[in-house]
Amino acid sequence: MKVYTAIITSLIFILSCNDSNRLVINEFSTPLKEFNDTSNISFISVANYPYTVPYKMLINDSVIIMDNKEASGGYWLNIFYLDGRFHSQVLHNGRGPNENLCVSSMGWSDNKLWIFDSMKKEIVYLNYDDKIEKSIRKKVDLSGYKADRLSDSIFLFNNLFMSEHKIDVYNIYKGTTIFGIGDYNSLPNKFTKTIKSQIGAANIRIKPDKSLVAVAYRYFDLIEIYSTKGVLISAIQGPDFISGKFEVKKTTLGKTLLKLPQTKECYLSLFTTNRYIYAVYSGKRFLNEEHKRTGNISSQVFVFNWKGEPVKKLNLNHPVQNICIDKEDKYMFAISLDEGNLVRAKL
């Protein structure tokens, strides 16, 4: 059965590659192999969560931090203890010197929390002990959405509007790009750099030991793994071999990218530990009725190792958009889109 499935998968991959109208984001990708293991994951509720569904989730030894799509009660971040007790809200919404307009990305920096505000073009470090207090702010002259931290001075940014690279390795103190990771050379030359960066919308997550970075695409069912020095380790496409469907339209402000009705969303979010890459996968049409209500949601998580090999497919008993995993890969946390609660499952 596995051999038969592998043959069918390879044929679909070959046929999709021969489609002349199909956009390709990585010409070196290989088809996703069948997952050797599938597990049913049962969440239990640990706390009521009366806020908007988070774009991102973080976890450490004591707390979970979730952002708001819209500032709730004047704050961007909600913090809960692992047992479900409420901790605090932090990071004021606003244009003031100690306020922020959005949280595009966030992560841990030793005992500090950092956030990237793409609207204010600002990196904020928040000291963390038993509470979050005092902030260090650094302006960055970039136009892009997502980031992850390699060191206190070096950040990886993707979806930069005027970049030729999928990821720019950037020194925030010197204000310079050191080098780029990946490229858009397989996309047609008729697309501008800005259009290419929109087609290549993706989530990025650095491996906690800082050696590798995973990229999961929104409009392509493609996972890439690079070394943080810029070497492509693996590019895996599947299971549906989806390619984004777009139309470029001229407006008074320039060219803009329109998603066609048949466009599908692939990887909704990404979380990494030193052992595994966890990717929430949808594969549903971008503008379906479900998306109009909540944004695309999914009950599937694909687990890969850092060689790009499929490890396990997780079927969840609650639909989610984002997840976080403890560093021992024992527990998954999420916000259930059925119940609106903070939920936990043993892996």
Is 9 or 51 the better-scoring residue by pLDDT?
A: 51
Q: What is the pLDDT of residues 220-268, one digit of tens each?
A: 999 999 999 999 999 999 999 999 999 888 877 777 888 888 889 999 9
Structural domains of the chain, count: 1
Comparing 48 with 250, which gets the higher pLDDT? 48
Which tokens sit at 59? Answer: 């976890």
Residue carrying the six token digits 């929109």: 198
pLDDT at 279 over 80: yes
Intra-chain end-to-end CA distance of the chain, in Å:
27
d(CA 1, CA 65) in angstroms, rounded, equals: 43
Q: What integer pLDDT is reported at residue 293 of this predicted model?
A: 58
What is the C-alpha separation between 40 and 300, in angstroms, rounded? 10
Least confident of 134-138, 280-284, 309-313: 134-138
Contact between residue 266 and residue 221 where contact means Cβ atoms under 8 Å apart? yes
Question: ∠ at Cα 322 (149, 292), nearest 5°?
Answer: 125
Instruction: Give the domain CATH number at 99.
Output: 2.120.10.30
Element at 49 (helix H, strand E): none
pLDDT tens per residue, range 128-176 = 554 555 677 888 877 777 899 999 889 999 877 778 999 999 999 898 9
Q: Kindly state the DSSP code that residue 225 receives in the 8-state scheme.
A: E
Helix (H, G, I), strand (E, B) or coil at 4: helix
- Rounded distance between C-alpha atoms, residue 301 and residue 320, angstroms: 10
Helix (H) or strand (E) holding 209: none
Range of the domain at 39: 2-346
Work out whether the CA dihedral 47, 52, 54, 60 comes out positive or negative: negative
